[in-house]
Structure 1
């Protein structure tokens, strides 16, 4: 193991979306992923619309401090939600600051800070744009719906002020024009084509200026300035992939593509040892950070 990977393995936390029990769980990277080691959690009780968590993302706000953005669901019935993470260790739906019903199978969610806008990727065929009337997330209301076939992931790029989206064979960027209820997405720049079924977009924290994008069988590095795409790795049914600033890569994959829940029990690391939660079905693993890049 190289020194940078060893350091990366010791100094961050990992959030996972565990679909079998309807939980979002936070662990220390170096701890075993057991119940006793859970540092923070959000549990849905697998209520209607709240099954199968797909996304967890932490962001900073001026008014509330750190918040968590999440999506859940199954075809035809899903939810997007926001909770404040600074007050309690174990949260439930009773702690939600905002939630919305999303029927297009929501797989990802992002917040655009200057506009207060929240964008949800509905993996069937659309992007949902929610805009607030104030700094209170409870005031979010859907103001725009855009067609995007198989939209699976959204990520705000604060360096270039662009929203990146992937789904199907496309990676696309949008400008966010206006603020509060006037905010709208407008397509910007040429589309990027990938082999197929784009699943995730994450920053490459070790390589500023690039993003990491997954589809069903590949991981790509995307240069944000030139839009050049390079294949980083090939692996079956990769769901999420990110690289820590120290150089260590972390990813999840689905070992049984024929079941109804999209994930396995293991979070994989390029160094320092994998982490397995027996019986779990983990869709995504995220580095616990509010940084966009």
Structure 2
């Protein structure tokens, strides 16, 4: 075998590995045109026939434009989905039981709340039972329950945070990470149930601007992936440093699977009023397009925090 043949064989093996890895997970998208959260196999076409699970809002007032979906495990209910929706001045946060049935609507909500600060992201803190919503205008909303039932969630704290766009729980360090504007910041959660409160912890990390998304890097434990309007950063959680690893315009979400594949969404036309395009991009294994869709974020279907 000559060098060219060896290189071709190695490339074929790499492609086969990437394809196998690509088939090992599912992808959820927030589709803003029709007000839907949709789940697909990574390697299937993103068509109606291939939808594995969905939540549809009917684009009711406050429920249009889904921005976030996040899957988390609970002892009482199993897997739940946390979601945010809305337009400036009128939005909603909601929780549903993912395992109850394959196609859900607002009638299936376990809990919801009206949030007028344009909610872009939501996270649940285990044990404390706290739910934190990032209102992209200027604040964090902290909801706490009286027991294990999400229906008892009530807002107990509001914190100023300009342009808050994303929240993520770090179960390794028991910290809530938040990004927005030029900051990446962490909070401790003190207390449980209705006594839960956020307290700022550690020094802020500065990025170039308009922090947008924050996700685990499943291929690199100990690091997070943070985006702003033109960059993707790798954040070392211990050193609290941010290193630019990619430059791309108007990236809305970015994550890396444990197998090494990166997945992201971006706004292809910043001149219009639409916040996303019809394609989810992957570093290997081929992109996926849903014609006519307005995809804001793409999330791995996983309940893991890191």
Runs (4 or more) in structure 1 with deviation over 3 Å come to: none
User: Which structure is higher in RCO with an 8 Å CA cutoff and minimum separation 6?
Assistant: 1
Q: Deviations over 1:11-60 (max 9, x none)?
A: 10000000000000000000000000000000000000000000000000
Aligned to 1:41: 54
- For residues 237 and 250 of structure 2, the distance between their equivalents in structure 1, rounded to whole angstroms, comes to 24
* Paired position in structure 2 for 1:153: 166
Find 2:91's aligned residue among 78, 95, 101.
78
How many residue pairs end up in the alignment? 293
1:185 aligns with 2:198: yes
Name the counterpart of 1:174.
Answer: 187
The secondary structure found in structure 1 opposite 2:18 is helix
Maintained 8 Å contact 1:52/1:261: no
**Is 1:207 matched up with 2:230?**
no
Q: Name the residue aligned to 1:283.
A: 296
CA apart distance, 1:123: 0.1
Q: Which moved more, 1:151-160 or 1:225-234?
A: 225-234
- Which residue in 2 is equivalent to 1:247? 260
Could you give the per-residue CA deviations for residues 201-258 of structure 1, whole angstroms, max 9, x where no partner exists?
0000000000000000000000001011111100000000000000000000001112
Matches within 5 A, 1:17-96: 17-96=30-109
* Native 8 Å contact 1:54 1:108 kept in 2: yes
- 8 Å CA contact retained: 1:130, 1:144: yes
Residue 127 of structure 1: SS of its match in structure 2?
strand
Structure 2: any 5+ residue segments left out of the alignment? 1-10
Higher helix share: 2
Q: Does 1:99 align with 2:112?
A: yes
Partners in 1 of 2:29 and 2:267 — Cα distance? 14
Post-superposition offset of 1:4: 4.7
Structure 1's unaligned 5+ residue stretches are: none
Q: Deviations over 1:116-148 (max 9, x none)?
A: 000000000000000000000000000000000
Q: 1:223 aligns with which of 236, 243, 246?
A: 236
User: In structure 1, what is the equivalent of residue 177 of structure 2?
Assistant: 164
| 1:4–1:248 contact (8 Å) kept in structure 2 | no
**Deviations 1:63-106, CA, capped at 9 Å, x for gaps:** 00000000000000000000001110000000000000000000
Query: What secondary structure is seen at the aligned counterpart in 1 of 2:62?
Result: coil
The offset of 1:6, in angstroms, is 2.8
Q: Secondary structure at the match of 2:65?
A: coil
- Aligned equivalents of 1:130 and 1:261: distance in 2? 30
Q: Which one has the largest radius of gyration? A: 2
Residue 15 of structure 1 aligns to a residue whose secondary structure is strand
